[in-house]
């Protein structure tokens, strides 16, 4: 047995179980949506009804397929209309991003489970269309903001461009992409069709895009990441390389994000990172993050010198203990761990391959994250 395996085995019992209350809330929300399907789909029969629903967004009412409702706080999304099904997450907790879906086909469980809707896209036939919008807060990453040109509502598909096939995209489907900065949000919109988009499908998609509601963003970022400003003495992003090392541990994956100083100078790391899980296309995967103590504390070891600051000499390594449970997202490979380290001016990314059982199909991944600490061999 290696030292890493022994350490993982000793720490396994110290990490917390998933938040039962949050898991139950997620389960009930999806069950409510499914139950509503049996009572018939809610369809807006007139534009007056759709206009009335506009006020519902301000009050936090969001429609799911089948007439089920979910609450949100000024969440962005599409208003329902005849021939369309809509679903939106509303405002989300870190590290999830708000999303909204509208389609002229029944929305599948992938949408209700808040994963990327490849299964629903696969059901598209010629002339049918699906709109998927992902929202991020403007100002979170200044370099990223430049990719989203300022636009005003209603958005126009004339500004969309054809893109190549995305990883996981069903065969025979095509996509248009429209990026915009609107009301304090960075909006990444994808429009999927079967084959080339027809003139009637384009017109229908534009009509639904006209019904997109994007409230003004809140005064602070939705995803409360550490400030992405370079702190004095902190390691520069260009001096860091990360890798993910995971091993199975009783229905979960336990291990660490290892950060190595590849620069020529000593530098410092400090604090607990926020970790996002993204697929190869940059789409964020649903996960719920919770803090855990550093590994040295879990094992009852002495406090490292200079803690909580970790000083990295050239070629030295630090680690962040992580544990994943309940992997029920679309099986994408590889998965990229984006670590937002306090004091470091940009996220540090590392790929990993994840194979894990799904215990709660309608709950997000449970991700436990510790603070930065020295790595012991």
Q: pLDDT > 70: what percent of the chain?
A: 69
pLDDT digits (tens, 9 = 90+) for 299-317: 889 999 998 999 999 999 9
Strongest mean pLDDT among 10-19, 176-185, 274-283? 176-185
pLDDT digits (tens, 9 = 90+) for 197-234: 999 999 999 999 999 988 765 433 334 444 466 778 89
pLDDT digits (tens, 9 = 90+) for 132-143: 998 887 765 555
pTM over 0.95: no
pLDDT band for position 289 (cuts 50, 70, 90): confident
Rounded Cα distance between 138 and 29, Å, is 29
Return mean pLDDT, the chain.
74
Rounded Cα distance between 134 and 248, Å, is 32
Domains in the chain: boundaries: 3-13+225-374, 40-213
Residues sharing a CB contact under 8 Å with residue 103, sequence separation 6 or more, in sequence order: 84, 85, 117, 120, 124, 128, 129, 130, 131
Question: At the top level of CATH, which class does the domain 3-13+225-374 belong to?
Answer: mainly beta
The predicted structure's pLDDT at residue 62 = 36
The predicted structure's pLDDT at residue 231 = 79
The predicted structure's pLDDT at residue 72 = 34
């Amino acid at each position: 047995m290696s030292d890493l395996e022994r350490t993982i085995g000793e720490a396994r019992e110290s990490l917390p179980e998933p938040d039962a209350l949050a898991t139950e809330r997620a389960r009930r929300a999806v069950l409510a949506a499914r139950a509503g399907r049996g009572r018939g789909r809610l369809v807006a029969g007139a534009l007056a009804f759709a206009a009335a629903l506009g006020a519902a967004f301000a009050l936090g009412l969001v429609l799911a397929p089948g007439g089920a409702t979910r609450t949100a706080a000024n969440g962005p999304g599409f208003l329902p209309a005849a021939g369309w099904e809509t679903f939106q997450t509303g405002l989300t907790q870190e590290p999830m991003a708000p999303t909204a879906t509208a389609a002229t086909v029944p929305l599948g469980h992938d949408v209700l489970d808040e994963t990327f809707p490849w299964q629903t896209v696969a059901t598209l036939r010629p002339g049918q269309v699906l709109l998927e919008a992902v929202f991020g807060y403007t100002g979170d990453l200044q370099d990223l903001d430049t990719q989203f040109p300022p636009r005003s509502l209603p958005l126009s598909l004339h500004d969309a461009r054809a893109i190549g096939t995305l990883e996981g995209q069903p065969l025979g489907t095509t996509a248009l992409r429209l990026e915009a900065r609107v009301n304090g949000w960075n909006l990444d919109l994808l429009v999927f069709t079967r084959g080339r988009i027809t003139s009637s499908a384009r017109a229908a998609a534009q009509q639904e895009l006209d019904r997109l509601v994007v409230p003004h963003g809140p005064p602070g970022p939705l995803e409360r990441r550490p400030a992405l400003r370079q702190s004095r003495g902190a390691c520069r992003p260009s001096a860091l390389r990360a890798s993910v090392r995971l091993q199975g541990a009783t229905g979960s994956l336990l291990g660490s994000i290892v950060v190595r100083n590849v620069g020529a100078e000593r530098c410092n790391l400090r604090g607990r990172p926020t970790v996002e899980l993204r697929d190869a296309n940059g789409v964020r995967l649903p996960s719920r993050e919770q803090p855990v103590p550093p590994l040295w504390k879990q094992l009852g070891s002495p406090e490292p010198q200079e803690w909580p600051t970790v000083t990295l000499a050239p070629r030295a390594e630090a680690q962040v203990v992580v544990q994943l449970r309940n992997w029920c997202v679309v099986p994408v490979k590889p998965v990229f761990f984006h670590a937002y380290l306090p004091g470091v001016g940009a996220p540090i990314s590392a790929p990993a391959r994840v194979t894990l059982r799904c215990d709660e199909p309608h709950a997000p991944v449970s991700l436990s994250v510790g603070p930065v600490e020295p790595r012991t061999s």
